[in-house]
Amino acid sequence: MTSAPSGPAIVDARDLPASALDAAAQFHASLVPLVREQAREHPLVVIDFAIADHTHASWRQAVVGQLAREFAPVRVNAIASAAEAQEARAQALDYLTRAPGVTGQVLSLDGNR
């Protein structure tokens, strides 16, 4: 009998198109299957988005929330940050790893604050 990995799975979604409609379509076609695969093997899946304008907020929240509901008790969350905000991403990932009650959330990070 093998045990599931205990650490989080990080799904890289940083290279999506700038258009919200195109980004959502590409995410659903290419990355939702990967998130589902990772959710079957890990207790936490974190989707790593690049920061984007407000037009991306609703589709991102909808997809993360739906994936969290689909795979509960596995937790699915997302972070969205600028490429240079590596420290903020690391801190957010640490927080999500230690916060067992947080799922279905998109954390928008600003590494300057």
Query: What would the pLDDT profile of 101-111 be if each residue is shown by its tens digit?
Result: 999 999 999 75
> Is the pLDDT score of 82 beyond 60?
yes
Grade residue 4 by pLDDT with cuts at 50, 70 and 90: low
Grade residue 6 by pLDDT with cuts at 50, 70 and 90: confident
Region at 12 (left for phi over 0; alpha for psi -120 to 50; beta for the rest): beta
What structural domains and CATH numbers belong to the chain?
A: 9-108 (3.40.50.720)
pLDDT of residue 110: 75
> Is the pLDDT score of 42 beyond 70?
yes
**Chain-wide mean pLDDT for the chain?**
93
> Sign (positive/negative) of CA torsion 71, 32, 90, 62?
negative
Strand order in the sheet with 9-13: 9-13, 44-50, 75-81, 106-108
pLDDT of residue 18: 97
> Is the pLDDT score of 1 beyond 80?
no
